[in-house]
Amino acid sequence: MQLTHCSVLVLISGNGSNLQAIIDDSIHSNYKVCRVICNKADAYGLTRAAQAGIPSTVIDHRDYGSREDFDSALIDLIDQEQVDLIVLAGFMRILSPKFVKHYAGKVLNIHPSLLPAYTGTDTHQRVLDAGEKEHGVSVHFVTEELDGGPVIAQEKISVEKNDTADTLADKVHIKEHIIYPKVISWFAAGRIKMESNKAVMDHEPLPATGIEVHPN
Ligand code: NHR
Ligand code: GAR
């Protein structure tokens, strides 16, 4: 089903460069960012939302007694409006099974590695330490398994001799800002779904590494 104008809610914790790329793309695409929710009051991403005229809400996890209480409050906030898709863009709180079940098939995350390799944090340094020749970025559906939901798309970069964790992070960011808006527009067009814990595009199940965007 084609959503006439897919309403996207973006969850952030920090700088929000992916949020910015999504906002910039949305202006000429088939989705709109209806709200930004952030768990850090001083995150620069909130300034980006304000500059784009997008409403935002801060909800600090430290004000809640448990992860489940925080997630219940998050669900209450999100359900105040009609949201078609929730996008994690540098959002740093693990979402409880209750949250994930409530929005099954409607939550995406971007992760700076070629999943299933290098889940977790500090991916760029770990890729260097392992002597990998390739690195990259993955967009996946969020499930209860951390960084383990079905992959929709990946984009690769090559690791050169003089790369550092910082240069790899820069290269990965450039790719993130291309791949994330692209996947969101596919979702908005009704082309991507999660079915039985698999990512499906145009009714075809995708391979475990998703679609390769810009193959070399
Ligand atoms: N939630 C679920 N259920 N599944 C995923 O795949 C998720 C998720 C929530 C966030 C993003 C993520 C990543 O891409 C993400 C994927 C934070 C942590 C973490 O350990 C792990 C993975 C990711 C984000 N967070 C700590 C926590 O206790 C807090 C760290 C902090 O506040 O700085 O939640 O890698
Ligand atoms: C991005 O590189 C994203 O892949 C990564 O955080 C950065 C957020 O940047 N996510 C994780 O590492 C999740 N643990 P941004 O705030 O500028 O979009």
pLDDT tens digits along 19-61: 999 999 999 999 999 999 999 999 999 999 999 999 999 999 9
Closest atom of ligand 2 relative to the 112 alpha carbon: 4
123 and 216 within one domain: yes
pTM > 0.85: yes
Contact yes or no for 149/86 (Cβ under 8 A)? no
Q: Indicate the top mutation candidate among 10, 13, 18 to test ligand 2's pocket, ranked by most ligand atoms within 8 A of CB.
A: 18
**Is the minimum distance from the CB of 17 to ligand 2 under 6 angstroms?**
yes
Last-in-domain residue among 80, 103, 126? 103
Is there a single domain that holds both residue 119 and residue 79?
A: no
pLDDT given for residue 214 in this prediction:
78
Q: Please give the structure tokens belonging to residue 42.
A: 């001083």
Q: What are the start-end ranges of the E strands in 25-181?
A: 31-38, 56-58, 85-88, 107-111, 134-141, 151-158
**104 CB under 6 A from ligand 1?**
no
Among the three residues 72, 87, 103, which one is the final residue of a domain in this structure?
A: 103
Catalytic residue among 5, 111, 140, 173: 111
What would the two tokens of residue 75 be? 């669900």
pLDDT on residue 95: 98
The CB of 125 under 6 Å from ligand 2? The reply is: no
Tens place of pLDDT per residue across the chain (216 aa): 555 689 999 999 999 999 999 999 999 999 999 999 999 999 999 999 999 999 999 999 999 999 999 999 999 999 999 999 999 999 999 999 999 999 999 999 999 999 999 999 999 999 999 999 999 999 999 999 999 999 999 999 999 999 999 999 999 999 999 999 999 999 999 999 999 999 999 999 999 999 999 765
Residues 84 and 132 in one domain: no
DSSP string over 52-74: TT--EEE--GGGSSSHHHHHHHH
- Encoding tokens for residue 210? 């998703």
Q: Residue 215: its pLDDT value, please?
A: 67
Verify that 130 and 69 share a domain, yes or no: no
> Is residue 111 flagged as an active site residue?
yes
Q: What is the pLDDT at residue 177? A: 98
Picking from 103, 130, 156, the residue at the C-terminal end of a domain is: 103
Q: What is the largest CA-CA distance in the chain?
A: 50
pLDDT at 1: 58
- CA distances (Å), 104 to each of 45, 62, 141, 144, 209, in order? 26, 26, 9, 10, 20
Q: What is the CATH number of the domain that holds 94?
A: 3.40.50.170
Asked whether 139 and 151 are in contact (CB, 8 A), the reply is yes
- Tell whether 158 and 186 lie within a shared domain: yes
**pLDDT the model gives residue 5:** 83
Q: Supply the range of the domain harboring residue 23.
A: 1-103
127 and 204 housed in the same domain: yes
CA distance 24 to 75: 26
* 121 and 211 fall within a common domain: yes
Q: Tell me: do 207 and 166 sit in the same domain.
A: yes
Which uninterrupted H or E stretch holds 192? strand 192-195
Whether residues 151 and 203 share a domain: the answer is yes
Which residue, 142, 144, 118, is CA-closest to 130?
Answer: 118
Work out how many domains the chain is built from and give that number: 2
Same domain, 145 and 165: yes
Rama region for 147: left / alpha / beta (φ>0; ψ in -120 to 50; rest): left
Distance CA 159, CA 133 (A): 5
Ligand 1 contact, 174 CB (< 6 A):
no
| 95 shares a domain with 115 | no
Considering the domain architecture, whether residues 34 and 74 belong to the same structural domain is answered as: yes
Which of 166, 91, 159 has the alpha carbon at shortest distance from 130? Answer: 159
